[in-house]
Amino acid sequence: ANYHLSTVLAPQIALHGPEYVRFVFQQRFGPFGEEGTAPITRQWIERTIQECGMSREELRSSEERRVTALQTSGWVNLILFQTRGEVGNEEEEGGSGADSDGINPEGEGTGEQEPQQQPQPQPFILVPEVLLSDVANLRSIRSTTRMSVIGSALALHACTVAGVGDAVLRREPSTSEINQCRDDLIEAMSGRDVSSQLAFEEDISSAVIALARVLKPSLGAEEEKVLNSRTPKVMKGEDPVVKLLHNRMRIIFCELMEWTPEHSQTIPNQMSTGRRMSSLSSSSSGPAPIDSTSISDLFLAEAKQRFMTRGFAFFSAELADVCLKATKVISLAFIVYEKDLMEPTMKKAL
């Protein structure tokens, strides 16, 4: 059965899959050539042009720069790390279910409400039609990055109060005690079996204090008080460290969108995606096929190292995984839609 799947079915899916997806897309949203087709995708591309930091002349003259603009400014900045909203499309089933998890990387809308004032609804990040099939992956990536920023900020405060600097957050946990503290912090942040927001914050504060005690066994009551006071501010995104780490992580994601293995000029089109349509591939340009497993392993090793050395060691493995997923998602969008929709739309907008 596995032999039949790998030698007979998989090549057929790779050959005909993109064509079928394009057919279904046009049945739902309209022909690629019509102006009214995929309006959110068109708006997204136009905004990418405006905010990518590249001149229109530069974008017009280089296909590579156009791809880079969509991967970094369009995908990473405007969608993955957009803080002024939650993921959801009116047409997407369950789109009103925001990807909020009770924490906010930049403190948008976290101020106290007046007694008579109703809380304002959180705006949606409308997902381009070319990415709608990966909304679940998008929410997963955003959730992991958000939790990793908050957790890393809390761990950094523990290091600061303990007086040890941030070296512990730039390498693999050096002792079993630190590794256990990391696991306990992640468990506390998952919020399992927590009855209230107060209990949630108390559990996280306890995990942060436990880490500080491992780093400084003589930790005093006043130092514990400082950490207790920092936790709710970090969780609400009101601590400046959160914004610093959020921007740092966003930059790493942008860098990794352009990563290529040393022995290849570009990531091969055969690189699988984050969802089940993983065998979709381009049949034209691109380097000779390289085993996707080895490519993924190389990427994960590089990504983990970058996250670790820049202060995200406690979450480096999780961040490497979702960064790989993010790369696969945007790669699939290019494989399926670049020729018929994305590239013509961008050229016309320029």
DSSP per-residue string spanning 302-332: HHHHHHIIIIIGGGHHHHHHHHHHHHHHHHH
Q: What is the pLDDT of residues 243-278, one digit of tens each?
A: 999 999 999 999 999 998 874 444 444 433 433 333
Q: Residue 209 pLDDT more than 50? A: yes
pLDDT at 302 exceeding the cut of 80: yes
Could you read off the pLDDT of 72-117 as tens digits, one per residue?
999 999 999 998 767 765 444 434 344 544 444 555 443 333 344 4
pLDDT digits (tens, 9 = 90+) for 12-59: 555 567 899 999 999 999 999 999 999 999 999 999 999 999 999 999
The whole-number pLDDT of residue 74 equals 97
160-185: pLDDT as tens digits? 999 999 999 999 888 999 999 999 99
Amino acid at 23: F
pTM reported for the whole predicted model: 0.82
> Are residues 150 and 234 in contact, defined by beta-carbon separation less than 8 angstroms?
yes
Q: If you ran DSSP here, which 8-state letter would residue 85 be given? A: S
Task: Please tell me what DSSP assigns to residue 5.
Answer: I
CA gap 300, 266 in Å, rounded: 16
Helices (H), the chain: 2-4, 10-29, 39-51, 56-61, 63-69, 135-162, 176-190, 197-215, 221-235, 240-257, 292-307, 316-337, 343-349
